[in-house]
Structure 1
Amino acid sequence: MSYVDGFVAAVPTKNKEKYIEHAKLSAVVFKAHGALKITEAWGDNVPDGVVTSFPMAVNCGKDETVVFSSVVWPTKEIRDAGWEAIMEDPRMHPDQNPMPFDGKRLIYGGFDVILEE
């Protein structure tokens, strides 16, 4: 089974095009270091919650949109080596590919896939 990294972020809505450019370059880098598939999804139907929700989790402002992203890797070992290489890759340094959102509010995690249909 594969391994998946998941991300949720609040992106200033005015930065949508900047985010897409950031994501395109990032996808090239991730694939160069072993990722199988990258998905970037711009929030369309992301309701506020009462107890918890995507917007609450990333402290999403009225002028921001929730983005959901995932990266699929063949294995956790390839993911771990890939991340190490990605962090060293100059194409991912802030001066080359700045994040057009507040990275301090980014939520991320790695997941063992338990079902794939």
Structure 2
Amino acid sequence: MSYIDCFLAPVPRANRAAYERLARISAAVVREHGAVNVVECWLDESGPQAQSYHGAETKGSEIAYGSFTTAAGARQGETVVLSWVEWPDKAARDVGMEKVTNDPRMQFGDQPAAFDGGRLIAAGFKPMPLGIGDA
């Protein structure tokens, strides 16, 4: 069964080009080391809003819905990036990520930081089989 590494990070809007360069390098490296798919997403700050994802019977105007901006701890001048890496399985992920984190191309110490890595939220996820067509 596939395995997903998921990342949520606040990124200064001014660093978009730098982040995209880092993301292209990272995507190539993780694919080389066994990833099946890599997806990088910028938050669509024009909406839709969280309440649009709730049915009419459960939607409440007085409810304070959460947001990715809040979850990521984005500050003034920052937006949010959501990304994930799909691996064939957890064993391939563990082997691949060991190689990724030791790959010289992933050592960005000589470049200005595109975002604050200490504020990155990351975790591994096991997909839920939901029915026909699921692995």
TM-score by length of 2: 0.78
State which of 40, 54, 60 in structure 1 corresponds to 2:74: 60
Amino acid at match of 1:13: R
- 1:6 alignment counterpart: 6
Q: Percent identity?
A: 42
Question: Are residues 23 and 105 of structure 1, via their aligned partners in 2, closer, same or farther at CA, if it must alter by over 3 Å?
Answer: same
Distance 1:89 1:16 in 2: 24
Displacement after TM superposition at 1:97 (Å): 6.4
- 2:86 alignment counterpart: 72
Displacement after TM superposition at 1:62 (Å): 2.3
TM-score by length of 1: 0.89
**Structure 1 contact 22–98 (Cα < 8 Å) conserved:** no
Distance 1:5 1:90 in 2: 21
Higher Cα radius of gyration = 2
Question: Are residues 54 and 6 of structure 1, via their aligned partners in 2, closer, same or farther at CA, if it must alter by over 3 Å?
Answer: same
Are 1:101 and 2:110 counterparts? Answer: no
State which of 70, 84, 87 in structure 1 corresponds to 2:98: 84
Distance 2:20 2:49 in 1: 22
Displacement after TM superposition at 1:94 (Å): 2.1
Structure 2: unaligned runs, 5 residues or longer? 51-62
More strand by share: 1
